[in-house]
Chains A and B, each alone.
Chain A
Amino acid sequence: MMLFLSSQLNTYLIIGAFLFACGIYGLLQHRSLIGMLISGELVLSGASVNMMAFNRFLAPDPTVGQIFTLFIMGIAAAEAAIALSIIIAVYRNYKTIDAEDLQDLQG
């Protein structure tokens, strides 16, 4: 029954796998650095959904998964700040954020 999807572990696991796969696809398919950063955020949120699902349905201590997810959010915020400042610095020097134009170190 479609209306009781919210009380099944598999729903959340499949949504987490879907977000992770979308992130992998976007990382390979996007050319701009900001697009890659967006896909990376999707990968992290897929991992968080998995953590929260196991926390709700399987874990004996239901605070562990929530704390893990809060720390994933903190790491993701730090990662986004660093990545965006790198992107701004790259744009200042090269006037592009296309990953295929940044070939100075390519042999």
Chain B
Amino acid sequence: MDQNLYSAEGLAGVVFLGLLAATVAGALIAVNAKRLVRSVAGLSLCFTGVAGLYYFLNSPFVALMELLIYVGAVCVAIIFAVMLAEPRAEEKVGKSSGLGSLFGVIAGGLVFIGLATVSTKSHWSIAKTKINTGSVTELGSSLMTSYSMVFELISVVLLVAIIGALVLALPGRDKE
């Protein structure tokens, strides 16, 4: 393989390292920031990095969906909630007292070490042949054939979620 930094593979590798750094830094900011707005900003940085990882995994459609749904919709909705319900600035935000952080570090570290060990030590068997290329056309046709039931079910779930969100947030609006 060509290991020159200025070849196409080398530049793609540099871009990939940047995406990895964005993902890791965004996740760390999201869980460690003092203020909630900065947490949401870190979350959107992390999701942008993850969308780039999806692009490297041969799935540009899922990468675009990640940007549209997570960065464009979920993060904006969370920011609206922060604007409606953030505690006042003088109160302590975010962090819990020492014990919660300690348990968090222990549990998170154990989970990370366990999962990383399992995934690097296991022997993954690669499929002999691929039956299609995973393009957007094949994605759409299998959504309409093999997975049409799941597709319908998730639309029902989204409808119920929208109605449920309205029902939950509606009472009390006229009092204020």
Interface on A for B, CB 8 Å cutoff? 1-6, 9-32, 34-35, 37-39, 41-42, 45, 48-49, 52-53, 55-63, 66-67, 69-71, 73-82, 84-89, 91-93, 96-98, 100
Interchain residue pairs A-B with the least CB separation, the first 5: A62-B134, A3-B13, A25-B108, A26-B31, A17-B115
Are B108 and A24 interface neighbours, CB within 8 A?
Answer: yes
Q: Which chain B residue lies CB-closest to A57?
A: B126
Chain A interface secondary structure, helix, strand, loop or mixed?
Answer: helix
Chain A residue contacts of B103, Cβ below 8 A: 28
Shortest beta-carbon distance, B22 to chain A, in Å?
A: 11
Q: Is the CB of A5 within 8 A of B131?
A: no
Cβ–Cβ contact B70 & A45, under 8 A: yes
> Which B residues are in CB contact (< 8 Å) with A62?
58, 130, 132-134
Please, which residue of chain A has its CB at the minimum distance from the CB of B168? A85
Contact with A71, one of B92, B133, B150 (Cβ below 8 angstroms): B150
Interchain Cβ contacts under 8 Å between A and B, 9 examples: A17-B112, A21-B112, A28-B101, A30-B31, A31-B93, A34-B85, A52-B53, A56-B59, A81-B165
Q: Which residues of B contact A (CB under 8 A)?
A: 1, 3, 5, 9-10, 12-14, 16-17, 20, 23-24, 27-28, 30-31, 36, 39-40, 43, 46-47, 50, 53-54, 56-59, 61-62, 65-66, 69-70, 73-74, 77-78, 80-82, 84-87, 92-96, 100-101, 103-105, 107-109, 111-112, 115-116, 119-120, 124-134, 138-139, 142-143, 147, 150, 154, 157-158, 160-162, 164-166, 168-169, 171-172, 176
Q: Across the two chains, which residue of chain B brings its CB closest to A53?
A: B57
Given contacts A3-B3, A82-B165, A97-B85, contact A77 B116 (CB under 8 A): no
Chain B contacts of A22 at CB under 8 A?
27-28, 30-31, 108
For residue A5, which residues in chain B have a CB less than 8 angstroms away from its CB?
13, 16-17, 20
* B111, A87: Cβ atoms closer than 8 Å: no
In whole Å, how far is B25's beta carbon from the nearest beta carbon of chain A?
11
CB of B143 within 8 A of CB of A67, answer: yes
Contact flag A28-B107 (CB < 8 Å), given A4-B1, A74-B158: yes
With a cutoff of 8 Å between Cβ atoms, the chain A residues found around residue B169 in the complex are: 85, 88-89
Measured in the bound complex, the distance between the Cα atoms of B46 and A10 in whole Å is 19
Q: Is the CB of A58 within 8 A of B36?
A: no
Closest residue on chain B to residue A73 by CB atoms? B69
Chain B residue with the shortest CB-CB distance to A31: B96
Instruction: Determine whether the beta carbon of B9 is less than 8 Å from that of A87.
Output: no
